[in-house]
Amino acid sequence: MGELLITNGTIVTMDAANTIIRDGAVHIRDGKIVAVGTTSEMAAGAAAEVFDARGKAVLPGLVDAHTHIAMVPFRGLIHDRRDILYNVVWPIETSLTAEDCYHLARLGALEALKAGVTCVADHYFFMDSIATAVAETGLRGFLGQTIMEMGGPLTGPEQLGAGIEFWERWQGKNDRIAPVLAPHAPDTVSPAWLKEMKAFATGHGTVLHMHLAQTKWEIQKVGEMYGKTSVRHLSDAGILGPEIVAAHCIYLGEDEIELLAATGTNVVYCPSTHAFSGRVAPVVRMLDQGVRVGIGTDYVAENDDHNLLEEMRLATMLQKVVCGDPEALPTAQVVTMAARSNPAMFGAADRLGTLAAGKAADLVVLNLDTPRMVPLTNTLNNIIYAASEADIEAVLVDGEFVIKDRTVLSVDESEIIEAARKSCTSLLRRALRKQPTLQGYLDPYVYDEIMHS
């Protein structure tokens, strides 16, 4: 790692004051930010490679707080239907292999990087393969092996040990990979397993990243098994707390919001998934009660991309509809959620999410000289409401360019795409042979190509 000086840019720090520095500069050395200020303050003293960011915004690398980057085979497959997780996703996942997850995760990681995401909080099966893919592409990750005890595609008594063993294998192995524990949800994991994982997380300074109150199915199953709502069930079992990162939290009453707030439980809002499911989490009510809420893209099925900029825009738009209030969830709150809450819930607020001295040099360079970004009357509003992944020109992780001039430098993009395409075809062919009724979710010509290629 060397020394780099980014000059002449609009520096969007995303700090607590949402400081923006016109004609600004970022000084980077050995993967860390040394200083942030104006170009005139820093240009003279730094002996470094210079990157001219004139006409561009420089942002912190985006942290995506809930992903399943290897789920790309589900893209475009299951929209406009009910209970797709249980009727389509899980049946296909019974045919997954470790090799599939490696190739598919590389594609998901590549897509995330090109959208300005430099860190994902990923939750899936065959996580060793996914962690290898994340490390190879240059992405950063909070990664957990999905642990399911019952009801899902990969279950059984060995799953708890597998999740803990993944944590032990990857702890300290790679500077960009932070392992976590990833129980699936309260309808698929027993209180006994959750308590064991909570104790492990508390003792080892890690988190439990799980799904909570995400579907009517889950709420019904938990009610049948325990006679309670999902949040009340976890509260009574002593599971809720600051170690928990709970994705979705769509089906909540006021008393459950109060429980999340009182226990310091973290919540991740996944706007696209919620929109496609027909019900949106009560995010404004959670924030008003003091719940820390972040933003994630979730999975390529009820979202179809890994674009956190798009999720930030949709996050505020949906809450304005839910609340019937154009002032609901304003830009500043959305930035707080994505830039500061996302890394904080994974214990990384001191390293990620904002541009400041001492933090990891994870940065995104976004072109301001495009039709959609002119005029630049309010920089943050333009970024949240107008910017596109097509405007991203460069991405750095630990001060190293992984994308420059919109060209991916860390991996061979065409090789990843082709390998993932083949893996998708192979996975879907195996799944269709197991469950022929899945044919109805594909275009007829696609089905023919998959089964006869």
Picking from 274, 387, 386, 392, the residue whose alpha carbon sits closest to that of residue 322 is 274
Picking from 310, 314, 315, the residue whose alpha carbon sits closest to that of residue 287 is 315
Cα 52 → chain centroid: 30
Contact present, 86 and 449 (Cβ < 8 Å): no
Q: Where are the alpha helices (DSSP H) in 77-171?
A: 84, 90-93, 98-114, 127-137, 158-170
Contact present, 176 and 214 (Cβ < 8 Å): no
Tell me the two tokens of residue 450.
């998959």
* pLDDT, position 41: 86
Map out the domains of the chain with their CATH numbers. Answer: 3-61+353-408 (2.30.40.10), 62-345 (3.20.20.140)
* pLDDT, position 243: 97
- Enter the pTM of the model: 0.96
* pLDDT, position 171: 97
Contact present, 89 and 148 (Cβ < 8 Å): no
* pLDDT, position 117: 98
Q: Is the dihedral of CA 418, 421, 423, 425 positive or negative?
A: negative
Q: How crowded is residue 396: how many other Cβ atoms within 10 Å of its Cβ?
A: 26
Tell me the two tokens of residue 132.
């290898």
* pLDDT, position 374: 96
* pLDDT, position 363: 98
Through-space distance between the first and last CA atoms of the chain, rounded to whole angstroms: 45
* pLDDT, position 76: 85
* pLDDT, position 396: 98
Walk along the chain (453 residues) and give the pLDDT tens digit of each residue: 689 999 999 999 999 999 999 999 999 999 999 999 999 988 655 567 999 999 999 999 999 999 999 999 999 887 787 778 888 899 999 999 999 999 999 999 999 999 999 999 999 999 999 999 999 999 999 999 999 999 999 999 999 999 999 999 999 999 999 999 999 999 999 999 999 999 999 999 999 999 999 999 999 999 999 999 999 999 999 999 999 999 999 999 999 999 999 999 999 999 999 998 899 999 999 999 999 999 999 998 778 889 999 999 999 999 999 999 999 999 999 999 999 999 999 999 999 999 999 999 999 999 999 999 999 999 999 999 999 999 999 999 999 999 999 999 999 999 999 999 999 999 999 999 999 998 988 899 998 999 987
Question: From residue 124, how far is each of 71, 155, 326, 346, 446 by CA, in Å?
Answer: 9, 13, 36, 17, 26
* pLDDT, position 87: 86
* pLDDT, position 112: 97
Radius of gyration of the chain, Cα coordinates, nearest whole angstrom: 22
Torsion angle in degrees (nearest 10) through CA of 431, 436, 441, 444: 110
